[in-house]
Amino acid sequence: MVQRELKRKTKLYTVAAIFSALILVSAIYTVTTPTVMYGTLGVPLMKNFTSNDELRNYLLINTGYSMYSPSIPQEDIAIPENTPVPKASGIATANPSTGTGSSSASGGSDDFIDGYWRSSPDADAAMGYQESPVQYWARPADSSQDSFSTTNIQVVGVDEADIVKTDGQYIYVLSRRDGLVTVQIVKATSQNPTVVGKITLNSPATASCMYLSENGNKLVLIGCQYDFSKSFLYRYGQTFIYVYDVSNKAEPVLARSLILSGEYFSSRMIGNYVYTVVNQRAYVEDGTVILPQVCVDTATTEIAPTSIYYTDMQDRYFSYSTFIGLNIIDDVKQPTYLTILTGASSCMYVSTNNMYVTFGKEVNTEIYRIAFNGAHLNFRAQGTVPGAVLNQYSMDEYKGCFRIATTISPMVRSAIENEHNNLYVLNMNLDMVGKLENLAQGERIYSARFVGDKAYLVTFKLIDPFFVLDLKNPSSPKVVGELKIPGFSSYLHPYNENYIIGIGKEDAKVKLSLFDVTDMNNPAEIAKYIIGEEALYSQSIVLNEPKAFLFDQQKQLLVMPVAIGAWPSNLDRSDSSVPISNGVWSGVYVFKVSPENGFILQGELSHPATNNNGWSDYDDITRSLYIGNTLYTVSNDRIQLYRLDNLELIAHVNF
């Protein structure tokens, strides 16, 4: 009996000992093994560094060398001189043990369960991410006196930063005057426009863009500042995000400031949140890892290696990409951030729920999906596609799929004929579900646009192939229509579901095209207009900056900045409203555009130069907008107002 009891207890003790050992091993493994994010199939996606030493060794091993530049002092980032500083409000960081932030930062920890990162629609829905209906062009504008145009954006509901913003009553213009960055606040009354307020940054700063809150009471300035006292190799940049209370237009007040080490990459605004991406070189200098820093008002924080995500890859260049979510209305709510060790950022596309950032790596493009909902920022997926992406318009999200168009460029110049283009369809895990490859051999993509279950691509070498792609079946995208015409289009803009506007070049001159895609199998160029047809060349910033493009379908209005120059000396221009001085004219062309009548030029508007530099007698007009029945043209030095119906000059305001 006693022996039987001893045997029973021996078995129990043995089992208990084994179980205890397993717990101990598990605990040791948990402590010494970095947190890993997994996809739905258990494939490792992202990990956290466990220490500064691990990050340093990772950079040294994978790059194969440390930075060769002279030592850059690791100084705390500072607020520019003469800038009022609001009280500190703190910052919320990512939690490496769960892959999410605190409840105020990135929601709960439900996403990381049993060692698996739930990158799925169910996980997104659980966190409040719901796919929104996709709009590809704004609804027809209200024709009332109070209607006004907004920034030309890619996705309706996702605002993009720009140098001019309006709420229909005031116009905010970001300009550089006398070496200082200035925001002019203009009361946009049609008869007596006046500058009622001003913001000036008294520091070596370059404010590149701004946002205006939906209620018109907060203005966000985003830009970079550099320490120009140091040599180029010692120079480093910082990104600032300043939120101003402009409820009193005459006395703007800095409500909060956010400064990050690194250079501004891109941003978007949805509702009350501005989402910004900042890139900083990642390297080891004299045995020290240079880490990104964040300064919220007066409190500076260094982002710890344990809060930095990464994947196993070898590259010659690494950067920290920090994603920031900032509530611009609530001055107390903490900003949140997420940092990933990546390659060099190339492009960003943002839907109403996701940020997709691409990174070029050799002959491939890596894609990261960051889901957001208010302050919540969560890494969701990573994927790779062959080729390089042109810009944000080469990407799109639609019905649970991410679409991206790329160009494969040969590394050897003599093999240029092997250049070709592809379109890939990925699911929300960024796994490839469909592809169309080897399109337009020997050419490259010059523009792309996605509209629902269709895509439009323009490639170019000698002629302009305009392709119509059918994407109804995500697993089998296909070319259904093709049109070959001279020149190329650098920017495509939906007129509506049946027509596409193209802005590009033909024979060194700006060309406008109107494509009829009602019959997908037989696209047609039903109208075109050559700007400066008699001149030797013409140019437009719209080719590289679509935000300079003003279009309103209901008004049939199209306005774009142009520059025209080098007319033949024997050309009689006496019958034109475009004056010639120094061989260059700069201004805007105003068109009426419709499928029935094509492009009808309404007028050529210019700003006489306030500071003649000998190159041109005109200030370059960079933006245009309308409020009610008044057209406003904006340059660095002034705003001019015109009646929309006859383009009669009404008034102007100098800055």
Q: 454-460 and 444-451: which strand pairing?
A: antiparallel
pLDDT mean over 443-451: 96
pLDDT for residue 586: 93
Q: Which of 237, 241, 277, 272 is nearest to 259 (CA)?
A: 241
From CA 488, how far away is CA 499, in angstroms rounded? 17
pLDDT for residue 31: 33
From CA 429, how far away is CA 425, in angstroms rounded? 11
Instruction: Give 386-398 pLDDT, tens digit per residue.
Output: 999 999 999 999 9
Amino acid at 430: L
From CA 570, how far away is CA 188, in angstroms rounded? 43
* pLDDT tier at 23, thresholds 50, 70, 90: very low
Of 412 and 224, the one with more pLDDT = 224
Q: Mapping DSSP to helix (H, G, I), strand (E, B) and coil, where does residue 56 land?
A: helix
Residue 493: is its pLDDT beyond 70? yes
Residue 511: is its pLDDT beyond 70? yes
Report how far Cα 463 is from the mean position of its chain's Cα atoms: 30
pLDDT for residue 361: 81
Q: What is the 3-state secondary structure (H, E, C) of 354-374?
A: EEEEEEEECCEEEEEEEEEEC
pLDDT for residue 610: 73
HSE-up of 568 (CA within 13 Å, CB side)? 5
∠ CA 427-467-547, rounded to 5°: 75
pLDDT for residue 118: 34
Q: Which of 550, 563, 605 is nearest to 164 (CA)?
A: 550
Q: Which residues pair with 425 in a beta bridge?
A: 403, 434
Of 112 and 324, the one with more pLDDT = 324
pLDDT for residue 582: 54
Structure tokens at 533: 């047809």
* pLDDT tier at 89, thresholds 50, 70, 90: very low
Residue 9: is its pLDDT beyond 70? no
What single-letter DSSP state applies at residue 92? B
pLDDT for residue 183: 96
What are the respective helix, strand and coil percentages of the chain, to the nearest 5?
Answer: 10, 50, 40
Residue 256: is its pLDDT beyond 50? yes
Backbone angles phi, psi at 16, to 5 degrees: -65, -40
pLDDT for residue 40: 34
pLDDT for residue 639: 97
The sign of the torsion formed by the CA atoms of 626, 630, 633, 639 equals negative
Of 63 and 513, the one with more pLDDT = 513
Residue 104: is its pLDDT beyond 50? no
* pLDDT tier at 295, thresholds 50, 70, 90: very high
Which helix (H) or strand (E) is 266 found in, with range? strand 263-270
pLDDT mean over 83-95: 42
Residue 190: is its pLDDT beyond 60? yes
How much of the chain, in percent, has pLDDT values that exceed 90? Answer: 62
Instruction: Give 116-159 pLDDT, tens digit per residue.
Output: 233 444 556 555 555 655 666 654 445 455 799 999 999 999 99
pLDDT for residue 125: 59
pLDDT for residue 45: 62
- 168 contact partners, CB below 8 Å, separation of at least 6: 146, 147, 148, 188, 627
pLDDT mean over 350-377: 94
pLDDT for residue 241: 96
Residue 76: is its pLDDT beyond 80? no
From CA 193, how far away is CA 189, in angstroms rounded? 5
Of 32 and 378, the one with more pLDDT = 378
From CA 529, how far away is CA 570, in angstroms rounded? 23
Residue 34: is its pLDDT beyond 90? no
pLDDT for residue 77: 61
From CA 338, how far away is CA 107, in angstroms rounded? 13
The residue extents of the domains of the chain are 537-655
Residue 318: is its pLDDT beyond 60? yes
Q: Which residues pair with 324 in a beta bridge?
A: 276, 337
Instruction: Give 541-565 pLDDT, tens digit per residue.
Output: 999 999 999 999 999 999 999 999 8
pLDDT for residue 326: 97
pLDDT mean over 49-53: 95
Task: Quickly tell me which residue has 């269709």 as its tokens.
Answer: 454
pLDDT for residue 42: 34
Of 467 and 143, the one with more pLDDT = 467
Backbone angles phi, psi at 517, to 5 degrees: -115, 25
Structure tokens at 595: 């499928």
pLDDT mean over 633-648: 96
Buried b / exposed e along 411-432 (16+ C-beta atoms within 10 A): eeeeeeeebbbbbbbbbbbbee
Q: Which residues pair with 485 in a beta bridge?
A: 464
pLDDT for residue 587: 96
Residues 559 and 550 sit within 8 Å (Cβ to Cβ): yes
Residues 434 and 424 sit within 8 Å (Cβ to Cβ): yes
pLDDT for residue 298: 83
Backbone angles phi, psi at 416, to 5 degrees: -60, -25
Amino acid at 171: I
Residue 21: is its pLDDT beyond 70? no
∠ CA 52-57-59, rounded to 5°: 95
Q: How much is the mean pLDDT over the chain?
A: 82
Residue 433: is its pLDDT beyond 50? yes
The sign of the torsion formed by the CA atoms of 105, 107, 113, 119 equals negative
Structure tokens at 559: 């306005």
Residue 71: is its pLDDT beyond 60? no
Which helix (H) or strand (E) is 466 found in, with range? strand 463-470
Which helix (H) or strand (E) is 11 found in, with range? helix 2-32
Residue 231: is its pLDDT beyond 80? no
* pLDDT tier at 201, thresholds 50, 70, 90: confident
Residue 283: is its pLDDT beyond 80? yes
Residue 401: is its pLDDT beyond 80? yes
